[in-house]
Amino acid sequence: MDRPAWAPPEVDLDRPSPARIYDYMLGGLHNFAVDRQMAEQVIAVAPEVRLAAHANRGFLRRAVEHLAGAGVRQFLDLGSGIPTVGNVHEAAHRVAPDARVVYVDVDPVAVAHSRAIVAEEEQVTVIQADIRDIDRVLDAPELHAQLDLKEPVAVLLVGVLHFIPDSDAPAAMVARLVDTIAPGSYLAISQVTTPPQTLTPEQQAAAERYTKANPVAMRTRDEIAGFFAGLEMIDPGLVDPARWRAEDDEVGGMVSSFAGVARKP
Ligand SMILES: C[S@@+](CC[C@H](N)C(=O)[O-])C[C@H]1O[C@@H](n2cnc3c(N)ncnc32)[C@H](O)[C@@H]1O
């Protein structure tokens, strides 16, 4: 296929990426044929994944609005993705126009598109980095030009930790983050969990094709709760993202992930 103008030259058009598959599931336009094909294979056997993507995005928005309402003025969004349908700086600015936001993603399309969207926004910075090297992120001069880590910050790890296998020590990465942020800061996490029901052979095959291209570390509720070690969970705790401070009767499907927000005392 022809390379669209928004796709940086280093992007491999033949390899599906989690950022672009997720963009497609949300109805976004920044994806390639290979991403759409992979997404459709999954949707064909598990149509609820689309709802799950929307539920995750809804959790992200409500968490940001809640935290901005609680007085947080700095947001560090790790694994921020392609800003498809509503994004963190818009949600934060609706409540607190003075909020400052740093987006971090490893995917070149997510970064290029985020940069294009926030080009005019002085209070928003986009950094391309792999969060597994969290010290590099925390030491980045661009981050310190936007955020004062001596003041409370909301760190968002929404829909990203399942892309970091245990062999890459995500718990140690999160602990390092928690150690660095000031008291009064918050940590928001959503992460895919082990499916409660047995997969059909077709679902199993689609899951294997997806995870072959993009390995996914499914975690139990207890394992996900472990990322919040040393923090105080705020209400309603670790729940289905669709049910986290839901504003209407947003329907949760089968519980395919857990979401929660906690405060550093
Ligand atoms: C499913 S999207 C979630 C986007 C957004 N946080 C949301 O919830 O709407 C996951 C994002 O994490 C990014 N990602 C995966 N592994 C990463 C890593 N090691 N470092 C930085 N970003 C990563 C992907 O590129 C993708 O954009």
| Calpha distance 170→161 (Å, rounded) | 7
Tell me if 7 is assigned to some domain: no
Alpha-carbon distance values, 207 to 31, 150, 199, 253 (Å): 20, 42, 9, 18
| pLDDT exceeds cutoff 90 at 196 | no
Tell me if 5 is assigned to some domain: no
Q: How many whole angstroms from 162 Cα to the centroid of ligand 1?
A: 9
Average pLDDT over residues 153-158: 98
**Dihedral, CA of residue 190, residue 210, residue 85 and residue 99, to nearest 10:** 40
Q: Tell me the per-residue pLDDT of 11-49, one tens digit each, with 9 for 90 and over.
A: 788 888 888 999 999 988 888 999 999 999 888 888 888
Q: How many whole angstroms from 150 Cα to the centroid of ligand 1?
A: 26
14 SS3 class: coil
Q: Tell me the per-residue pLDDT of 162-177, one tens digit each, with 9 for 90 and over.
A: 999 999 999 999 999 9
Sign of the Cα torsion 23, 24, 27, 32 reads: positive
Tell me if 11 is assigned to some domain: no
Residues lining ligand 1, Cβ inside 6 A: 18-19, 22, 56-57, 60, 79-81, 105-107, 110, 130-132, 158-160, 163-164
Nearest CA, atom 27, ligand 1 = 81
* Geometric angle at alpha carbon 92, from 117 and 123, rounded to 5°: 55
* pLDDT band at residue 85 using 50, 70 and 90 as cut-offs: low
Q: How many whole angstroms from 82 Cα to the centroid of ligand 1?
A: 9
C-alpha 208 chain-centroid distance: 22
Name the residue of 163, 166, 174, 214 to mutate for ligand 1: max ligand atoms within 8 A of Cβ. 163
* 4-18, 39-53, 185-199, 241-255: range with lowest mean pLDDT: 241-255
Residue 241 CB-density burial (10 A; 0-12 exposed, 13-18 middle, 19+ buried): buried
The candidate with the shortest Cα–Cα distance to 155, out of 133, 141, 134, is 134
Name the residue of 160, 164, 244, 256 to mutate for ligand 1: max ligand atoms within 8 A of Cβ. 160
- Residue spans of alpha helices (H) in the chain: 18-25, 33-45, 48-69, 88-95, 108-117, 134-139, 141-146, 170-180, 201-213, 221-226
| pLDDT exceeds cutoff 80 at 239 | yes
Tell me if 12 is assigned to some domain: no
Number of domains making up the chain: 1
Looking from the CA of residue 84, the nearest atom of ligand 1 is: 9
Q: How many whole angstroms from 211 Cα to the centroid of ligand 1?
A: 15
The candidate with the shortest Cα–Cα distance to 190, out of 262, 253, 113, 87, is 262
Tell me if 1 is assigned to some domain: no
- Tell me which residue range forms the domain holding 110: 18-263
Answer for the pair 75, 154: CB distance below 8 angstroms, yes or no: yes
Tell me if 13 is assigned to some domain: no
CATH number at residue 134: 3.40.50.150
Phi-psi region of 189 (alpha: psi -120 to 50; beta: other; left: phi over 0): beta
Full-prediction pTM beyond 0.85? yes
